[in-house]
Amino acid sequence: MPILGIIASAISGNLSLSVDVLAIAGGGGGGGIRGGGGGAGGVAYNADQAFASATTYTVVVGAGGAGAVGGTPSGLAVQGGNTSVTGGTLSLTAANGGGYGGTIRINNGSNVGAIGGNGGSGGGGALGLQSGVYSGPGGSATPSGQGNAGGSIFSSAEPYAAGGGGGAGAAGSNGTSTSGGNGGAGTSAYSTWGVATSTGQDISGTRWYAGGGGGSTYNNTNTAVGGNGGGGRGGQGGFQVSRSGMDGLVNTGGGGGGAYNDDSGELYFGGTGGSGVCILRYLGSQKATGGGPVIASGGYTYHTYLTSGTFNTQVQVTTKATGGSIFYDSTYLYHVFNASGTFAPTQSLTADILVVAGGGGGGSSYYGPTGGGGGAGGMVEYTGQSLTVQNYSCTIGAGGTYAKTMATSSTQGVNSTFQGLTAATGGGRAGEANLGAFGDGTGGNGGSGGGAGANGSNGASKPGGSPTSGQGNAGGTAFGSGSGAGGGGKGAVGQVATNNPNANGGNGGIGATSSISGGAITGAGHLSGGNYYFAGGGGGGQSGSGTPGVGGLGGGGTGGNKAVDGLANTGGGGGGGSNLANFNGANGGSGIIIVRYLR
């Protein structure tokens, strides 16, 4: 059974390690007008690399490339970011970001941009016209060995079906007479790594990485699927609600799906590529720091990087407990729980404990009034806690979900608990009315209250949710035909909405910092201006031509046409959807527990 954190009570010395490195780059974004699927991020594996002792190595995890904005022929999707490990005398080839999906080019005198972008795997091609010749080839896989080429468009006549993005295991399919090209399959060659670290796309117990995004389909209901390994599906021309390409799965390097748009100002989006991941492993027990969580499995120790960080082969520290991901500075040891686990002191100690619950889900709009922002998860600090030699359960609350149909509502975030202490309460769900199909726009109660949604009741106001005493603040109030209010945050109430058909969404309440988190060492929280925040409220959706409400510092998601999830492990509330047409809210961010004690 995997063990989290440092598994020996005392580890010291400068260590030289033979390390296997698996680097997967960010997937490419999907094209925006009858767009091709984004190519998967490159996969680079380097075995038995000599990491020098007492050396800090920099691990960069590539972001997924942004999808093209629909209705903007001059705009292009973006290649995924590279994933790399550098430092000392180490010389490794970076995993190359996935190529972007092509976007239609028939009025520009050039097919540049219609051709799928080159990358770790190539992006799928879209329709282009140059010198009277129609074409749309897929992008190439560069450098060789990291992936495969993207697929091409079907033909120069309807259905103009775009090519799928290439995957690590197979090329993207060409468009056909009935559908865009499917994304190329990723690779399951590193499934044992994925099982050990809980990364990759889990398909019937096998873990896949780096699948290509599906190409868009013109004017029918067929769907091009993304490749195994996190590739996003392509948009459909026949169903308005499915025209945007789906995002690639985070931390798989999957390519984003291509969007279907006429080039007439429609606003459907190419899917964003999935971010990459970097995993370092070596034989035996833990001999380095960095990454999180650090997991022992099958005789190896795995350091998993879902975001950029450092890997340090110098470890000189004596711990007093096990559990979580362990960090230290000159004064304290910090045990960070991003997922549920057990804190187990090996001697009696006095600890400070930060507990943050999951944030509330943002309100959706199904051809109806605007959704509010989700409330932040409750945030509680406990100081001077006397702990003995026993196991203490740490339960991390998940973020609440947005409403996925007109017959449901967004949900409250889940409580986080450290055994023996009062729980931090999950963030309140956002308000939403959906033309009376569900609810009346009132925000839900929680750690911080959810922001109210516009309720479609001729200007009648609806309140935001109430907070749990000492854990957060109330959500903002909203009205009949205006914008959605902001969700409450630990540091401030959510902003009140405006009763105007073209109003800005209410901003989420700001979160708060905590000295217990050791943010500069642990990297926990939402970094802004050198400070690390938790429990920010979600921003409300805008009405009409207004602008979305901004999420509060502390991981609150921004509202709008493409509402943003609350940041994982901050307890941030999810953003609320706008009232333009079928715009979902977003999920709340999961919670976190951090335990610190003197070295």
Cβ atoms of 314 and 338 within 8 Å: the answer is no
Task: Tell me: pLDDT of 16 over 70.
Answer: no
Helix (H) or strand (E) holding 303: strand 300-305
pTM over 0.95: no
At 527 the three-state DSSP class reads: strand
Contact partners, residue 407, CB within 8 Å, separation at least 6: 437, 438
Among the residue ranges 169-178, 289-298, 340-349, the one predicted with the least confidence is 289-298
Task: Tell me: pLDDT of 275 over 90.
Answer: yes
Task: Tell me: pLDDT of 3 over 80.
Answer: no
Task: Tell me: pLDDT of 240 over 60.
Answer: no
Task: Tell me: pLDDT of 525 over 70.
Answer: yes
What is the C-alpha to C-alpha distance for residues 118 and 259, in angstroms, rounded to an integer?
A: 19
The predicted structure's pLDDT at residue 552: 98
The predicted structure's pLDDT at residue 156: 58
Work out the average pLDDT over 139-148: 96
What is the C-alpha to C-alpha distance for residues 357 and 425, in angstroms, rounded to an integer?
A: 6
pLDDT digit string, tens, across residues 555-580 = 999 999 889 999 999 999 999 998 77
117 vs 220, residue with greater confidence:
117
Task: Tell me: pLDDT of 368 over 60.
Answer: yes
Amino acid at 77: A
pLDDT band (50, 70, 90) for residue 445: very high
What is the C-alpha to C-alpha distance for residues 153 and 159, in angstroms, rounded to an integer?
A: 9
Structure tokens that stand for 586 in this block: 């977003």
The predicted structure's pLDDT at residue 74: 58
Work out the average pLDDT over 389-409: 90
Nearest of 289, 296, 300 to residue 18 by alpha carbon: 300
Task: Tell me: pLDDT of 428 over 90.
Answer: yes
Mean pLDDT score of the chain = 88
Task: Tell me: pLDDT of 270 over 70.
Answer: yes
Percent of the chain's residues with pLDDT above 70? 88
Q: Using alpha carbons only, what angle is made at residue 589 by residues 80 and 381, rounded to the nearest 5 degrees?
A: 130
pLDDT band (50, 70, 90) for residue 539: very high
pLDDT band (50, 70, 90) for residue 315: low
Query: CB-based burial of residue 311 (10 Å sphere; 0-12 exposed, 13-18 middle, 19+ buried)?
Result: buried
Work out the average pLDDT over 72-90: 86
Highest mean pLDDT, choosing among 95-104, 107-116, 435-444 = 95-104
Query: CB-based burial of residue 469 (10 Å sphere; 0-12 exposed, 13-18 middle, 19+ buried)?
Result: exposed
Task: Tell me: pLDDT of 239 over 90.
Answer: no
Task: Tell me: pLDDT of 144 over 60.
Answer: yes
pLDDT band (50, 70, 90) for residue 516: very high
Percent of the chain's residues with pLDDT above 90? 66
The predicted structure's pLDDT at residue 105: 75
The predicted structure's pLDDT at residue 553: 98
Cβ atoms of 351 and 596 within 8 Å: the answer is yes
365 vs 251, residue with greater confidence:
251
Task: Tell me: pLDDT of 141 over 50.
Answer: yes
pLDDT digit string, tens, across residues 154-165 = 875 666 789 999
- Residue 161: other Cβ atoms inside 10 A: 37
Work out the average pLDDT over 264-293: 86
Amino acid at 537: G
Structure tokens that stand for 435 in this block: 């033309």
What is the C-alpha to C-alpha distance for residues 583 and 233, in angstroms, rounded to an integer?
A: 18
